[in-house]
A and B are shown apart, each in its own frame.
Chain A
Amino acid sequence: MIAELATLFGVMLIAILTGVPVFLSMAFGVVVFAIAFAPLMSPLVVVQTFQQGLDNQAFTAIPYFFLAGTIMNVGGMSARLLRLARAMIAHIRGGLSHANIAASVVFAGISGSAVADAAAVGSVMIPAMKRDGYSPSYAAAVTAASATIGLVIPPSIPMVIFALFTGASVGSLFLAGIVPGLLMGAFLLVASYIIARRRRYPASKWQGTGELIAAFRASFLALLMPVLVIVGLVGGFATTSEIGAVAALYATIVSTVIYREANLKQLFQGVVQAALDAARVLIIIGVSGAFIWIVARLSVANNLALFLLDMQFGPTTILALIALGLIIAGTILEPVTILVVLVPMLVPAALASGIDITHLGIVVVLSTSIGLITPPVGILLYITAAQAQAPALQVVRETMPFLLALLVLLTTIVLVPAVTLWLPG
């Protein structure tokens, strides 16, 4: 089994690290495996598993949630949410840094994608922070760190993928993500406040309760979307896919009919963008069908579960090991690859040791979201560094306090399941 796995994962990792697109790297690993260990996997099985990777209606939820988030974004929601964030918190020392984090928290509730959050929040907040005297690298760092919240606060596309690959309840995962997501915001705010005091960053003028209420009213319909999604799922009114489609319809109506901020051209561009974003993820899921077939054929998950049970590790130790492993994997791989390639192998071991599947899901998603800001391959660092026109190495350095805050939170969540489980419970 070791030789088979080493071939499969070795070829895939070498290809990924050489810059080959992830889906092609995975396919390359599968093809080399099929040739090296013929007749274990015939070419017909390779083709079948590529097709069967996507032969599941539940996966249709992924493009719908991309569509809902993108339309909300093109419909002017980001400006409204940023106004709300500034009205809430910008008057505290280091105000724009805090507002950036608060904006990511509220934006996370409509997008489900960390990159979308970074792009939307960063495009407005980074120039504003630079004008206010913050260093470009700090502005980029705080934007990147806070964008990770997008994967944890519902609706979250990685949570949907985790649920589809493990059989967990999407509704429970969404509910369970609320407290950790808000805590991510709180931990990052504490780090931001300490930095602001040390560096004597400025505070913006308090704009009054009137502005706060006006900003809240202006963004109310956007804030309502995550509520509708969670109520729909937890209340059992519709399936995850149907809720996703209804959320997309809601976003379209709010953006075009009620706020009238998106015209037909913008709407079309939003649909194209959402379709491309969804295709990026779906093609990886499709190819992962072959990976899952091989892993099942080699009984990797069962063997791993037996090994961990033999070692007599407790559930907390196993969960901590999973979190550590995913953070290390996250320094190179992005969340979707981790979720479709590594997580299905880990789940049986985790469940056999008594870890709650929802708790596991939150730890997995939080760990992979932290991977988005860890070098050498932290995609958010590079996006925000480009937005701020700051050297990536300086952005990495400025991100360290925020990374530490998120690691402290992850440790807390691993050690205290109640933080995650009390709301769905």
Chain B
Amino acid sequence: MAKRFHSLLTKALSVMLAALLVAMTMLEIVQVIMRYFAGSGFVWTGDVTVILMQSLAWIGAPALWLMRGHIAVELISGSGKGRASALALVVDAGIVAGGAALLYYGQDALAAFANIDIPSLGTTGDIKYYPMMAGALLLVIAGLLNLATGSRYTSASDQTS
């Protein structure tokens, strides 16, 4: 059951990431077209692409967590099954605690920015914190799923630099 949910969530997050990236790119291209052919672009494009990018980062983080795909130094994770399992256990527990703390203290940030307007979007500043809050929640779920499924570190040779 946990493995199935692990796999489903990984796929769902991957599709969401692809959609976010495509949406960002299309918005940016429309902005260029509008500027060159209509004289000026939309005032909200900048803020929307930033929020989409933040969503890409914060939703990408749990997706990569489920895949064990984050950038990491492989001195321990690549050196023996026992140590890799222990490391996986520690970091999964760490991400559950960290994500929960971020969710808890993030409420203060939401409240603090709920009264600050973003004129270009016609809304308030707390909207920029929602991607991080969603990411924190998903990181907690990803950590718990990894713990439940016993997901270990494998080679992270697909890391990016």
Which residues of A are in contact with B by a Cβ distance under 8 Å?
16-24, 27-28, 31, 43-44, 46-48, 50-51, 54-57, 59-60, 63-64, 66-67, 113-116, 119, 151, 238, 241-242, 244-246, 248-249, 268, 271-272, 274-286, 332-337, 372, 376-377, 379-380, 382-383, 386
Contacts and interface: CB of A to CB of B under 8 A. Distances in A.
Contact of A386 (B25, B59, B77, B155): B155
30 contacts: A18-B87, A20-B90, A20-B91, A23-B70, A47-B106, A56-B50, A59-B53, A63-B25, A114-B161, A244-B28, A245-B25, A246-B29, A268-B18, A274-B21, A275-B18, A275-B20, A276-B69, A278-B21, A278-B57, A280-B60, A282-B57, A282-B60, A283-B60, A333-B73, A334-B71, A336-B71, A372-B161, A377-B75, A382-B78, A386-B157
Contacts of A27: 98
A376 B75 contact: yes
Interface of B: 14-15, 17-18, 20-22, 24-25, 28-29, 31-32, 46, 49-50, 53-54, 56-61, 63-65, 67, 69-78, 87, 90-91, 94-95, 98, 101-102, 105-106, 108-109, 112, 128-129, 132, 153, 155, 157-161
B161 A334 contact: yes
A63 to B, nearest CB: 6
A21 B72 contact: yes
B73 A19 contact: yes
B108 A43 contact: yes
B25 A379 contact: no
B54 A279 contact: no
A43 B31 CA distance: 37
Given A19-B153, A63-B24, A282-B57, 18 more contacts: A18-B76, A22-B71, A43-B108, A55-B54, A60-B24, A64-B24, A66-B160, A114-B161, A115-B160, A246-B32, A249-B29, A272-B14, A275-B18, A275-B56, A283-B57, A285-B57, A372-B161, A382-B74
Nearest to A22: B71
A245 B101 CA distance: 35
Dominant secondary structure of chain B at its interface with chain A: helix
Q: Which one of A48, A67, A114, A275 has the greatest number of beta carbons of chain B within 10 Å?
A: A275
Contacts of B60: 275-276, 278-280, 282-283
A119 B161 CA distance: 12
A51 B102 contact: no
Nearest to A148: B161
B46 A271 contact: no
Q: Which of A43, A278, A280, A285 lies at the interface centre, i.e. has the most chain B CB atoms within 10 A of its CB?
A: A280
Nearest to B109: A47
Contacts of B56: 63, 275, 278-279, 282
Q: Tell which of A19, A21, A43, A116 has the most Cβ of chain B within 10 Å.
A: A19
Contacts of B108: 43-44, 47
A280 B77 contact: no
Contact of A276 (B14, B24, B72): B14
A154 B157 CA distance: 24
Nearest to A371: B161
A280 B64 contact: yes
Contacts of B72: 16, 19-22
Contacts of A59: 50, 53
Contacts of A54: 50, 53-54, 57
B29 A24 contact: no
A113 B74 CA distance: 20
A51 B69 contact: no
B71 A21 contact: yes
Contact of A47 (B29, B31, B50, B102): B102
A355 to B, nearest CB: 25
Given A276-B17, A283-B58, A286-B58, A19 B28 contact: no
A18 B101 CA distance: 22
Given A54-B54, A275-B17, A19 B75 contact: yes
Contact of B17 (A17, A113, A279, A386): A279
A279 B25 contact: no
A19 B25 contact: no
